[in-house]
Structure 1
Amino acid sequence: MSVIVISPGRDPEAWVQELKNQHPGMKIIAYPEEHAKEEVEYAVTWKHPRGIFKNYPNLKVIASMGAGVDHITSDPEIPENVTITRIIDDQLTIDMSAFVLALVMNHLRDLSFHHNHTSWEQTDYLRIEDQHIGVMGVGVLGSAVVKTLTNVGFEVSGWATQPKPDAAITIYGEDQLDEFLSQTNILVCLLPLTQQTENILNKELFQKLPKGAYIINVARGQHLVEHDLLEMVDTGHLSGASLDVFRKEPLPEEHPFWKNPKIRISPHIASVTDPRKVVPQLVQNYIRMTEGKPLKNIVKRQKGY
C-alpha cells in the first residue's frame, strides 16, 4: 500500500517529510517518480494533472492539501468510488480572518495611498460604524470572518444557500440575494467554487450593490468575471476591489488589473497551508482508511464541498 503526493508547481518535499515524521511506516511516492500505480490507495494532492487518477485502479481516497477542493471536484474523470477529503485547520481560519480584516481596514483608511505617495496629503476616510459588510459564504472560514468583523464593530450579514434564523447575525438564503446585496457596502466572497457559484461576481450582481461598494475576493478567481469588475470600477459604480485570487496564477504581467489604481492585488496569500499543522489530519484519515473506519472531513460531491 502506497501514498502518492501530487502537487505540480509546488515542491512536495515538506509534505513528504512531514508524512514520514508523522507515520514512519508509510510508503510515500512524490509524483512524478516511478511507481506501481496498483499499489497506490491514498493520494494527497493540490491541482493534479486532469484525468490522472483514473490510472490508479485501487485508489480509495484523494485528500486535498488545503481547504479548497474545486481543483479535485472539477475533474470529471475522478472515479466515483473514490472518497474526497478536505483540510479544516484552525490556523487557516485565523489567517483568513486577519487578512480580510486587514483588507477592509486598508480600504477604509486608504493606507496604500499614503504608502505610495511622498506628499503630506491628508485624505478623507470611511468609518466602521457607517459600513455594512456582506459575507458570501458562511462556512468554516466565512463564519470566522464574520465573527472577527463583528468583534471590531462592523455591521455584518451573510449569504448562504439556506437562511439561518438562529445565527448571531442575519444570514440571507439563496433566494434573498437582492436584499442581501442592497445594503452591502463591502462585499466579501468566501464561497466554495461550484457550478452554481462560478462567475457569480458579475455585472448583474454588482449593479445590485449600492453605488461606491467595494469588492473583496479571497475565494477563487473563477468566481469573478474580470471584465465586468473593470467596467463597474471604471464607471464609478464600484469604488474598487481587493483581489487575492485569479483565474490565472500568477497573474500575467500584461493583465489590466495591474494598471488599475482602484484594484489592489495580493498573490494568493490570504491563508497558506502549513504541512506541519495539517499532516496529522491526513495521517489520521490514512489510518482510518486502513482500518475501515469512517473518514473525517469528507466532501459531498453533489454540493462540491
Structure 2
Amino acid sequence: MTLLYKSDPARGAEWARLLAAKAPDLAFRIWPDVGNPTDIRYLAAWMAPDDIMAQFPNLELLISVGAGVDQFDFSKLPPELPVVRMVEPGIVDGMVEYVTMSVLALHRDLVPYIAQQRDQIWRQIRVWPASTRRVGVLGLGMLGEAACRKLAGFGFQVAGWSRSCREIEGVICYAGPDEMTDFLGRTDILVCLLPLTDETRGVLNADLFAKLPRGARLVSSGRGGHLDQDALLAALDSGQISAAVLDVTSPEPLPTGHVLWNDPRVLITPHIASMTQPETAVDVVLDNLRRHRAGEPLLGLVDRKRGY
C-alpha cells in the first residue's frame, strides 16, 4: 500500500525523509511520480485530481495537507471515500501566533503607525489597556478555541461564536444565528476563523460590519471567500471599520493595482498565518493510517453535510 503526496514538492521531500525514519515499510511517492496507480491507497493533497477514482481506483483515504477542506470539490469525490483534515499541532500553534500578533497589532494601533511612518508623521495615539478591549472570535473549532485561550491570557475581554454551544474557561461563548447580533455588538476586534462553507461564504459583509461597534477592527485569517472586499472598503471609508489585517483574499494573490494593496488602513500578508509542519504532520498521518487499518475513528474526519 502506497501513500502519495500531492502538494509542495519541497515539503514532500521533508515528508519522505521523516517517513523513511518513522515508517520505513510504508511506500511513499511524491506527485507526479505515482508509480503504479493501483498501489495508491492513501492520498495526502492540497488539491485532488478531478478524476481521482479513475486515476487511483483503490484509493481508501483522502488527507488534506491543510486545516481546511474547502479546496476540494466534494461533488467529484465518491461519498464512500473518507476525507480527513490535518489536525496536527503545528497548524494550531502557527495560527495562534498569527492571531495574537494581529490582535495586538490592531490593539496597539500598528496599522496607522505604519501609515504614519510612510508619511514621516510623528503622532501619538492614546494607549488603552488590553482589559478595556473586547475581542470576538468567529469559529470555535480547534484553531478558534486555542486562539481564545491565548488572547484571554493577555487580559482581553474575549468572546467566541460558533454554530453550536461551547464552553471555554475565561471566554464568553455565543452560539447560533440568534446570538450573533449580541456577539458582534460587544466586539471591538473581530477575528474570523470559520471554515469556508456555503453558509459562511461572504459572511464578512456590510450587514455584519454594521452590527459591530463603530471603529471596530478586523482580522481575517480563515479563507478569502469569507470577506466581501467591497463591503470592507465601504466600511473603512465610513469609519465603521478602522483597520484590518488580512491574511487571505479573493483571489490570491490580489491582482496588481488592487485598491487594497495600498490602503493605509489595511495590512496584508500572503496566506501565511499557519502552515503544516512536516515533523508533526507526519505523526498525525501515520496515526490516521493506523486507525484506518484498525477500523478506529479517524482524526479530523470531515462531516460532508457540514462541509468541515
Say if 2:247 is the partner of 1:236.
Answer: no
1-10 vs 155-164, which deviates more?
1-10
Say if 2:144 is the partner of 1:142.
Answer: yes
TM-score normalised by the chain length of structure 2: 0.90
Equivalent position amino acid for 2:52 in 1: I
Which residue of 2 is the match for residue 163 of structure 1? 165
10-19 vs 81-90, which deviates more?
10-19
- Encode CA deviations 1:230-285: one digit per residue, 9 max, x unaligned: 11111211102101112222333222210111011111121211111110111122
Alpha carbons 1:8, 1:48 under 8 Å: kept: no
Call closer, same or farther: CA 1:63–1:165 in 2, change over 3 Å: closer
Shift of 1:203: 0.8
- Encode CA deviations 1:95-124: one digit per residue, 9 max, x unaligned: 222221211111122235545344543333
Alpha carbons 1:54, 1:79 under 8 Å: kept: no
Call closer, same or farther: CA 1:247–1:56 in 2, change over 3 Å: same
Say if 2:288 is the partner of 1:285.
Answer: yes
Call closer, same or farther: CA 1:201–1:43 in 2, change over 3 Å: same
Q: 1:50-199, aligned counterparts within 5 Å?
A: 50-72=50-72, 74-114=73-113, 116-117=117-118, 118-164=120-166, 168-174=170-176, 175-199=178-202
Aligned pair count reads 304
Equivalent position amino acid for 1:38 in 2: T
Shift of 1:162: 1.8
Find the aligned partners of 2:92 and 2:168 in 1 and give their Cα distance. 22
Which residue of 1 is the match for residue 39 of structure 2? 39
288-297 vs 224-233, which deviates more?
288-297
Call closer, same or farther: CA 1:130–1:293 in 2, change over 3 Å: closer
Find the aligned partners of 1:112 and 1:190 in 2 and give their Cα distance. 21
Aligned match for 2:269, one of 266, 270, 275: 266
Find the aligned partners of 1:11 and 1:157 in 2 and give their Cα distance. 36
Which residue of 2 is the match for residue 253 of structure 1? 256
Which residue of 1 is the match for residue 6 of structure 2? 6
Poorly superposed stretches of 4+, deviation over 6 Å: none
Greater relative contact order (CA < 8 Å, ≥ 6 in sequence)? 2
SS at match of 1:70: coil
Call closer, same or farther: CA 1:252–1:10 in 2, change over 3 Å: farther
244-253 vs 276-285, which deviates more?
244-253
- Encode CA deviations 1:29-49: one digit per residue, 9 max, x unaligned: 211225332221110011234
Say if 2:207 is the partner of 1:207.
Answer: no
Find the aligned partners of 2:97 and 2:262 in 1 and give their Cα distance. 27
Alpha carbons 2:107, 2:133 under 8 Å: kept: no
- Encode CA deviations 1:7-46: one digit per residue, 9 max, x unaligned: 2687532223323332112222211225332221110011
Call closer, same or farther: CA 1:162–1:268 in 2, change over 3 Å: same
Find the aligned partners of 1:13 and 1:248 in 2 and give their Cα distance. 28
SS at match of 2:76: coil
Call closer, same or farther: CA 1:76–1:9 in 2, change over 3 Å: farther
Equivalent position amino acid for 1:295 in 2: L
Which residue of 1 is the match for residue 230 of structure 2? 227
Superposed CA RMSD in Å reads 2.1
Find the aligned partners of 1:43 and 1:165 in 2 and give their Cα distance. 35
Say if 2:299 is the partner of 1:296.
Answer: yes
TM-score normalised by the chain length of structure 1: 0.91
The answer for unaligned runs of 5 or more in structure 1 is none
Alpha carbons 2:111, 2:243 under 8 Å: kept: no
Find the aligned partners of 1:262 and 1:198 in 2 and give their Cα distance. 23
Shift of 1:54: 5.0
Find the aligned partners of 1:68 and 1:10 in 2 and give their Cα distance. 21
Equivalent position amino acid for 1:177 in 2: M
The answer for unaligned runs of 5 or more in structure 2 is none
Find the aligned partners of 2:303 and 2:37 in 1 and give their Cα distance. 26
Find the aligned partners of 1:243 and 1:214 in 2 and give their Cα distance. 11
SS at match of 1:76: helix
Find the aligned partners of 1:279 and 1:161 in 2 and give their Cα distance. 31
Find the aligned partners of 1:256 and 1:51 in 2 and give their Cα distance. 38
